[in-house]
Amino acid sequence: MKTVLWREVKGELTAPITAIGHFIVPIFYVVFFAAAFGSNISHIAYRNLPFRYTEFFIPGVIAFQTFSLFSWTFSMVRIDRASNIVAIFLTSGVHPTIYFAGKLIASILITTVRCLIVLGISLSLAYVTLPSLANLGIAFTGLLLGSVVWLCLGFICGVFITREDLRDIVFSILTLPITFTSSMYYNIELAPQWVRAIGKFNPLTYTADTIRCGMLGLKVSSSNLLILALSCAVSLSLALRACRRMS
């Protein structure tokens, strides 16, 4: 496990391409998106309360960090398989579940750091106010569960979809619908009925809502948390089954 973890963290933090993806892109999201939308939309209604749009949007950016684990893990697992790293791990006695666990732990650590960067910049630009420790804990729970869900789904796709063209098709087909049938950037409660209906099956809705409630100091619905935890358990069990295919 130590070796797998070392490799994940080392690769993700030292390679320029990954370092930029992890630490620069989230900053762009805060600076450009929040500046652009925040200057056009001053307030937004959420749970019947008015919030500054930036206050509303930043938790969405944090939720997006968990969703980006889907495409990232999908790509990295596919690359690891194509570049025979998985074969080397297997023939060196590393069980696929250890490979998966290494990815999971490293990704959660890195995603947490990414989100802390987003939070730090948002605080410094006065886009958000610092929530209480208890509310931060709720937001972190959403972050953690959301990260597990999206990483597992990306892992499963990486195991089963080995063709690069298919990966691109999956990205193109899934990314926008998943993003816009969740409450990541806007209040889905005000969206048309059919969008809300799809949103109910979208884990990103529950991830974004849990993080947002934590950051805005609102009460988190227990059914939200339950659905997110259930999604987490199902995707985790499917990812562990996908490990068997790798062995």
The two tokens of residue 172 are 């193109």
Q: Is 62 exposed, middle or buried (0-12, 13-18, 19+ CB in 10 A)?
A: buried
CB of residue 240 vs other proteins: minimum separation in angstroms?
18
Which of 10/163 has CB closer to other proteins?
Answer: 10
- Please report the sign of the dihedral spanned by the C-alpha atoms of residue 45, residue 47, residue 52, residue 54: negative
Locate tokens 């947490």: which residue? 112
Which of 5/195 has CB closer to other proteins?
Answer: 5
Which of 83/162 has CB closer to other proteins?
Answer: 83
DSSP string, 208-222: HHHHHHHHHTPPPPH
CB of residue 94 vs other proteins: minimum separation in angstroms?
7
Which of 93/192 has CB closer to other proteins?
Answer: 93
C-alpha of 18 from chain center? 16
CB of residue 161 vs other proteins: minimum separation in angstroms?
19
CB of residue 228 vs other proteins: minimum separation in angstroms?
30
Give me the residues that bind other proteins (CB under 8 A), please.
2-3, 6-7, 10-12, 14-15, 17-18, 79, 83-85, 87-94, 247
DSSP string, 82-134: HTTHHHHHHHTT--HHHHHHHHHHHHHHHHHHHHHHHHHHHHHTTSS-PPPHH
CB of residue 151 vs other proteins: minimum separation in angstroms?
17
Which of 91/124 has CB closer to other proteins?
Answer: 91
